[in-house]
Structures are given as structure tokens and as C-alpha cells.
A and B are shown apart, each in its own frame.
Chain A
């Protein structure tokens, strides 16, 4: 048997093992490069920014003096815009995804819609900003308000929410649908009782990803608002506003050294908000998964 094998096969086992080891090392190097960039970025921001993170930074309005400047208006503006964006975009995005996956006939027209939603996800954000300026600020006369900003942000992240929600819905085994239908469920009962609860963690992940993108976007907000020196907190969706990235951008572009530091402090705050959002999402997902499995 052994001699037979030796004649017929040249297994080159050492070569094959070496290839495996080399590839393994290359993959580790790529990971190290990616992580080093991230860690360096975080370290830089934290070293420069942390000394500036204080109560003043959070509770004060902008000022000519970096020591007294704060980003209360921008922070609250971001909270307002994100809350309104979520309220607008999540129901619409998830609804569109449910329609496309569960209701829409599979024909060339829905295919066309699907392809174009993917294309929309890649459109530069400034284009949405200009669209928002023309449509919401001017034609619909919403002014440079929180609502106009949130609607623009919603346009920007709707494709992402739709795409990720569709993926989440698609990943629900067909057998669940069959089981529910076989018990006499209507299509809506299948969607609301089986599909959406099962897809919820995936939809949540996608939504948070989309919101994380929106929170860091400055281009569309510059097109709509461009306000940087704001000394009040929005009290309703029709108020004017500014957001964290615009405030940070403004500070970075000032000549004084102190504003660079406070900009880094602002970035720390922005990252903290982002981190809190992601933590809430992870918490909700774990909680929800555990409950649905009980």
C-alpha cells in the first residue's frame, strides 16, 4: 500500500505546510497594521484631548477663549438630530426592507429598485446635503432646522438601514416562515410574530452602524446649517442647530493652539457618544437574544 502511494503521489507535504505558515504570518501582519493605526489614532486623540475634557467643555457654549469654550450646543444638537433621524429612518427603512423581502413580487422592477438602493448607499454625503438644502430647507420651507437636518441624515442612512435589514430578514430560515404559514398565519402575522423578532438583533446592528455613520457626518450638515457659533440649545425640531463634527471642524481650523486641544477634547466627546450608542445596542441585542431564546 505504502509503496503504491509513494509511486503515485508526490504529496509535497512540507511545501504545503510552509505555505500555510507563511499565509498565517501575512494575515497576522495585516491585523497588526490595522490595529496599530487605530490604536495610534486613539492614543493621539486621548493624549491631546483628555486634558481638555472637563465639565466646562460639556456645559459651556462656544467662546473666543479656548479655556471657556464648550460644545453644549453642538452636543445637544447632535442628540436632537440623531433622535429625530432614528425616529424617521428606522420605521421607513425597516418597512421598505420588509416589503422588498416579504411582499414584493420578484421581478425586474424590484430588482432595479434593489440595485439602485445599493447604489444610493455609495452616493457621497455632500450630494445628500445639497439635496436636503434644496428640498427640505427651501422647497418644503423647513428652514435650517433640526428637522431639515434629520430628514437629510435619514436620506443618507436609509439605504444602509434597508440593505442591512434586508440581510437580517433574508437570514431567517424559510422553515420558520413555512411553520407559521402552516398554522394558518397571515403574511402580516408571519412578519410581525416570527420574522421581525428573529431579525431584530440584525436589524439593530445595521441601524446602529448607520447611525454611527450619521453622527460623524459633517458635509451634509454644513450644507444645511453651517452654524458654528450657537449660544442656545435646540428646544424643538424647528430650531436651528449645530452638530459635534462641525464644531470640531471649526475649532481645528482656528490658529490658536488652545483650540486644537479643545478640538481633540471634542473628538473624545464624539467618540464617547458613539461608544455609548454602540454599548446600548450591544446591551439591547444580548438582552433581546436571551429573551427570545428563553
Chain B
């Protein structure tokens, strides 16, 4: 599927669908008319050179860009068949259901326990808090490493552990989608592998969209890949989107092939 084919609206196989999505920082257009559909329970990777708008596009999916002054999104992002940029939509509701993990591990300066419990508490979780925290830490493959020091500061953990804690924190509120913005770029190779393995385990329960600079990483973890590039107007656009194996072995677009093989200017 390429971006020219458009998007079939309201298909329940898709977790998120962008339809003619444009993003602006003030007068600067960062994302130019992107159409793409993210399938449920797979990993979708966004790749492309720096400044191609892949992070901006990702942050359109949970309205994280709303926090940036002068940002404006035009177009449609369908989540559960409703436009998340619709006039009556509450952005906190979107962010509660579409979680996010950031480039740099950003645990709160609180205890490990409080970090995971944070989202549960503010969203009024009615069940057993301790049980939910344990389950989230287990899902993030961190429980065994931290179970004896849940009351210790999260900042004492290693970078890789902090990032898994952030994933546990995001998982705790049971989001349907988790957006990951270069989640391993600040980690060492061992931490990176742990995150990649975790992503593959999590995808059975949750849809994952990951932005990465690392093409090997995209090839390793993702099922589908979107390749974005900067157009002549400096706005990012979608060049090619489809099955990861096919894109890395037999891309349709000349530019994709050049980028993947490293012959990119």
C-alpha cells in the first residue's frame, strides 16, 4: 500500500488512521498530507532522515503536540472510528487511551512504585493498586529486578531499567496503543535489545507505533514500516508504507531504496 491509495475509513482492523493529515508549527508545515492506517496488534515503525516529521506525526496520534504553542493539526486522525481532532474530543481521554514512551527515559523523581501507580491514581483506578503495579512491572520485564526496592527512587535505576519503568508506567493504564518516540536511542546495546524484545512481547496485547533512527531496529522489531522524507517545501511526507520485510528487501520507491541502502544524500 502506498499513500496514493488513500485510506478505507472506519475499518476495525485499524487502530489508528491518518487521513490527509497536515501538521504546522506556526506557519511552518512539518507534515504534508499523510494518509496511513496502523493495523491493530502489530508494530509499525516510522523511519526517515532527521527533520522529516516522523516524531511530529507520531505525536499527532495522542495530541501530544497540543502542548506546543502555535501547533496546529489539519486533517483527520481516526481512533476507534472517531476523529481525535474533533471539536468535542477531550485530549486527556485520548492520552489516557494512547500511551507514550519518550526518547529519553523520564521517570518522575518519585519511587518506582509511585511511578507506575501515577496513571492509575489520577485516572481513578478502582482495583488493587499494588496488584496492578506488579502486573505492569511484570509485563515490562522489570519486576524481578525491582521487586525488593519498590519504595526506592526510580532515578537510581539504570537507563535501560528506567525506560522499561516508563513502559510499565504507560502499560499500567491499559492503553490500546503505545507510541514510542525513539525509545532506545539513549540506551546502550544491552538496554536496546531488552527494549526490542519487550516490544515484540507486548504487541500481542497492544498496538505499538515506534519512531526510530535505526533502520536495523525497524527491520528487527516492526511488522510494517512507514518511510517519511522531507519534501522540497521542507514538510515531511509519506514516501512508502507497507510490510517491513518487503520494504527492506524490495522497496517500491527509488528513494526508499536509496535511504535503506545508505546511498542517501
The answer to whether A and B assemble together is yes
Smallest CB–CB gap between A33 and chain B, Å?
A: 39
Indicate whether A181 sits within 8 Å of B122 (C-beta atoms), given known contacts A292-B110, A294-B111: no
Indicate whether A185 sits within 8 Å of B92 (C-beta atoms), given known contacts A106-B69, A293-B155: yes
Contact in complex: B153, A293 (CB < 8 Å): yes
Contact in complex: B170, A193 (CB < 8 Å): no
Contact in complex: A184, B119 (CB < 8 Å): yes
Smallest CB–CB gap between A160 and chain B, Å?
A: 26
Indicate whether A175 sits within 8 Å of B111 (C-beta atoms), given known contacts A106-B69, A182-B62, A183-B95: no
- Residues of chain A within 8 A of B109, CB atoms compared: 176, 198, 292-293
- Residues of chain A within 8 A of B122, CB atoms compared: 183-185, 189, 193
- Residues of chain B within 8 A of A198, CB atoms compared: 108-109
Complex Cα gap A176–B67 (Å): 13
* A179 interface neighbour in B62, B108, B152, Cβ under 8 Å: B108
Interface size of B in residues (CB-CB distance below 8 Å): 31
- CB of A124 closer than 8 Å to a CB of B: no
Smallest CB–CB gap between B62 and chain A, Å?
A: 7
Q: A269-294: contact bitstring with B at CB < 8 Å (1 yes, 0 no)?
A: 00000000000000000000000111
Contact in complex: B102, A179 (CB < 8 Å): yes
Interface size class of A (residues with CB under 8 A): 20 to 34
Contact in complex: A175, B104 (CB < 8 Å): yes
Indicate whether A294 sits within 8 Å of B102 (C-beta atoms), given known contacts A105-B69, A184-B96: no
- Residues of chain B within 8 A of A197, CB atoms compared: 110
Indicate whether A183 sits within 8 Å of B169 (C-beta atoms), given known contacts A175-B102, A175-B104, A176-B106: yes
The SS class assigned to the A binding surface is helix
Q: B107-131: contact bitstring with A at CB < 8 Å (1 yes, 0 no)?
A: 1111100000011001100000000
- CB of A48 closer than 8 Å to a CB of B: no
**A-contacting residues, B58-94, CB 8 Å:** 62, 64, 67, 69, 92-93
* B67 interface neighbour in A177, A183, A184, A294, Cβ under 8 Å: A177
Contact in complex: B108, A194 (CB < 8 Å): yes
* A178 interface neighbour in B102, B111, B118, B151, Cβ under 8 Å: B102
Complex Cα gap A184–B62 (Å): 10
- CB of B173 closer than 8 Å to a CB of A: yes
Contact in complex: B170, A183 (CB < 8 Å): yes
- Residues of chain B within 8 A of A178, CB atoms compared: 64, 67, 100, 102, 106
Question: Given known contacts A184-B119, A198-B108, A294-B151, what 4 new A-B pairs fall within 8 Å (CB)?
Answer: A175-B102, A175-B106, A182-B62, A184-B95
Chain A interface (Cβ within 8 Å of chain B)?
Answer: 105-106, 173, 175-186, 189, 193-194, 197-198, 292-294
Chain B interface (Cβ within 8 Å of chain A)?
Answer: 62, 64, 67, 69, 92-93, 95-97, 99-100, 102, 104, 106-111, 118-119, 122-123, 151-153, 155, 166, 169-170, 173
